[in-house]
Chain A
């Protein structure tokens, strides 16, 4: 293991996250993916909202913006449009991007603006103490669903795909190397890329649902995770309770928003010259 990677990309350790939290694995996958790419580090900006996951920017040695709950994508859109040269990466949580920030998420996908959105999806509101979120599986015990949660959850990959994102993938903390590779593809992709990182919150979701400890929660993923390829051969009964991971969309045909806007500028200039 090279420790240099930490001093190069992080400003401080340890993090504020609980033992066994998946956020550290995602953060590590992000900096490892960046380390393998040939990016100008001065041109990379991280933007986040509010939540345990969004706290990740407080450790990063980059231009960073830790914004309001749900609003990271809106701020990021302004940054990208002000300077399309910048690589803008949004770090967010399932509550942050799919609940309070859900409107910004779908509109960023619709525009296909060149942002990379990495959602640390721990199936609950971690920072406020473990209430149910828009991705909490039905029946889960959370601090606001002590009789079992009853709201149907979003599949964030289906959501972003239908909203128009041109790169959509799911990765899992259970497969950190593959997560790193997927994040790398997402950052390299031109257009809106969304990565749903299936993760764990052992301190809250795990404890409330009696899933023993972080190690046990991690081992549960082994049976739940199936690749897109495996899923193709499985029946809907077999897919019950499974989580499909891999790259669902990787489409370079959709025009990216900054490019679309550049055409608008050309038209405007023609209109005054012509």
Chain B
């Protein structure tokens, strides 16, 4: 039996991470993510876990990658400025397929921006932030309860697919308190990375068969694992610049292992009243709650509105969205930035469909009435 508890989003994130088996957290304080670090510093040592306050965010993600290679389940938490600093090491974790969870609690940018104000302007950065080709895995909860469950799912995906997973939410969700249902530990599905069973001499840290993920040995177990940020083959040792196939196969693998398994347990989204929707609202996180209220209000006025809410933001469920979108005449994107989700859905929009953008970046949340007005405007469109 679980229980109902009241907590903030940041508290839910820290508690869920520990429930998922996280035993190593390294971080650097930053509004609006700091409470995650604070709670980890209190709770982790009680269970022999490690909390480390590093000298900066570059060191924080470096330390968790190292700890993951030594066998721990790991997490760091930050906001835009720190997330920007982490990008180079994030790429290192991708190319070496190191499981780790990175929380980006979005505040208004760019730069220092407005530290205490919410935003949703890191959507694209979580997909493209680091240089080079790689496949991002990003989850975007919209409530305190979903922060709890999605944090656990983020760990499961990271361990299963051996790569970084980003948990993305904003300053409002971070700091607001909600009543949530917390399941008992034995009711929660927890996935741990698979460990090698082969002879130690035969172990390769990577497997580049398309959808496979190699088991991950830990440092100190005698496997003599080789990790390198240079383009490497399955042994982990660098590939020569003349070996074009070798240089390509690693990239294929980073994409295939996610794309080939996408429909199994990576894809996730919520739909609300989409079956006959003329106007489809697309929104994530805290804004999607205003959007849902706006859709309900539109329905009361006789407008056939619906909501499409990605929970796995990246990779975006283009196929499903296109199918759902077939019947609608207009799309409304509602987001706390100057236009990012609209660039995602535009790929799936027919030239006969209208796109109405509701953007806000003055530090306020988008009200349901404002989204309702966008729905009404979109509904006027004659195809």
A contacts, CB < 8 Å to B: 11, 42-43, 45, 47, 50, 57-58, 61-68, 71, 74-83, 85-86, 103-104, 107, 261, 264-265, 267-269, 271-272
Contact = CB atoms under 8 A, between A and B. Distances in A.
A64 B229 contact: no
A74 B224 contact: no
A193 B224 CA distance: 24
Interface stretch (B3-11, B43-51, B356-364): B43-51
Nearest to B63: A78
A77 B221 contact: no
B224 A75 contact: no
A271 to B, nearest CB: 8
Nearest to B56: A103
What DSSP secondary structure best describes chain A's contact surface? helix
B45 A77 contact: no
B71 interface: yes
Contact of A77 (B52, B88, B224): B52
Nearest to A110: B55
Contacts of B128: none
B58 A74 contact: yes
Interface core residue of A64, A80, A107, A267 (most chain B CB under 10 Å): A64
A83 B50 CA distance: 10
Contacts of A57: 226, 228
Given A63-B224, A64-B226, A83-B71, A76 B66 contact: yes
A82 B71 contact: yes
29 contacts: A42-B220, A42-B222, A50-B229, A57-B226, A58-B238, A61-B224, A65-B66, A65-B227, A68-B88, A71-B58, A71-B59, A71-B89, A74-B54, A77-B54, A77-B59, A78-B62, A78-B67, A79-B66, A79-B70, A82-B66, A82-B70, A83-B70, A85-B220, A104-B59, A104-B62, A107-B59, A261-B50, A268-B42, A268-B45
A83 B72 CA distance: 9
B50 A42 contact: no
Interface residues of B, number: 44
B282 interface: no
Nearest to B61: A74
Interface in B53-104: 54-56, 58-60, 62-72, 74, 88-89, 92
A236 B229 CA distance: 45
A50 B238 CA distance: 13
B65 A75 contact: yes
A86 B59 CA distance: 20
A62 B221 CA distance: 11
B223 interface: yes
A42 B222 CA distance: 5
B67 A81 contact: yes
B308 interface: no
- The 4 nearest A-B residue pairs measured at CB: A78-B66, A74-B62, A78-B63, A268-B45
B67 A79 contact: yes
B237 interface: yes
Contacts of A107: 54-55, 59
B59 A58 contact: no
A11 B221 CA distance: 18
A45 B74 CA distance: 19
A78 B223 CA distance: 19
A107 B229 CA distance: 24
B230 interface: yes
B219 A74 contact: no
Given A42-B222, A82-B72, A64 B227 contact: yes
A11 B238 CA distance: 13
Contact of B70 (A42, A68, A78): A78
A147 B87 CA distance: 36
Contacts of A78: 24, 26, 52, 62-68, 70, 74
Given A42-B220, A58-B237, A75 B225 contact: no
Contacts of A269: 45-46
A61 B201 CA distance: 11
Given A77-B63, A81-B52, A66 B227 contact: yes
B45 A265 contact: yes
